[in-house]
Structure 1
Amino acid sequence: MSTKNTLYVSVSNKSLDREASMNEQLEVRGTEKELEKLRQMLEQLQRDDEVTQFRAPIPYKSADHDKATNQFNDDLLKLYQLIYNLGTDKTKAHIHDMNILNKLQNSDYDDPGYEH
């Protein structure tokens, strides 16, 4: 049976640390293989973030129909799902309370301004 290690994830900093810090972090437990996948997903999210930040200032460009933004959102959803799967009960409760998995899966096209 593979040994599970505890690490702390900061999505906003896109970091995975062995020790908890004062910053917002989510505690996860996983095998080396699972934690490596998490590390790779954080690196991918960093790359996605770099691409979207250069596209954001383009005038009249709707970010909700942008491939780079869609990729970022898809990768963010996958990341939070993996964190949830590897998370402690406290981490799972936090993600559940954030309701982020549901929000990322459902667009807000019903809001005013998104007709047609």
Structure 2
Amino acid sequence: MDKKTYYVTVNTGEVLDSKENINYDFEIMADQEELDQLQELFEETDNTSQNSYGTSYVPWRVYYNNEANEDYDYYLTEVYRMIHKLGTQETRKHIESMHILENGI
């Protein structure tokens, strides 16, 4: 499959094929299958984010001792791992500078 350039905004989970009129975080090169995988990771991140939000009101639950938060962290890390894999040289360098993938790329 042919790879195209896409522009990714992690906070909103957007992946667009044009950088016109948007602020984007990262530039990637992906084929349709890779793009679908990234979209699925964003969906899982969103789902787990909603689950962890429901537990944020419980003051005695520590963030790191909460399965919903662990799931969210896992999927968000996988999003960054996929963006790193598909990213341009600048994108990969930026993600590496964030130290978010310390357990391997």
Structure 2 residue aligned with 1:94? 94
CA RMSD of aligned residues (A): 1.2
Query: Partner of 2:52: helix, strand, or coil?
Result: helix
Q: Which piece of structure 1 moves more, 75-84 or 15-24?
A: 15-24
TM-score, normalised with respect to structure 1:
0.82
Larger radius of gyration: 1
TM-score normalised by the chain length of structure 2: 0.90
Deviations 1:2-58 (A, max 9, x none): 200111111111111112254242111011000110011111111111111111111
Q: Which residue of 1 aligns with 2:10?
A: 11
Amino acid corresponding to residue 23 of structure 1 in structure 2: N
Residue of structure 1 equivalent to 2:62: 62
| Amino acid corresponding to residue 45 of structure 1 in structure 2 | T
Q: Percent identity?
A: 25
Corresponding letter in the other structure for 1:13: T
Equivalenced residue count is 102
Q: Secondary structure at the match of 1:59?
A: coil
Secondary structure of the structure 1 residue equivalent to 2:101: helix
- Is the CA contact 2:8–2:26 (under 8 Å) kept in the aligned structure 1? yes
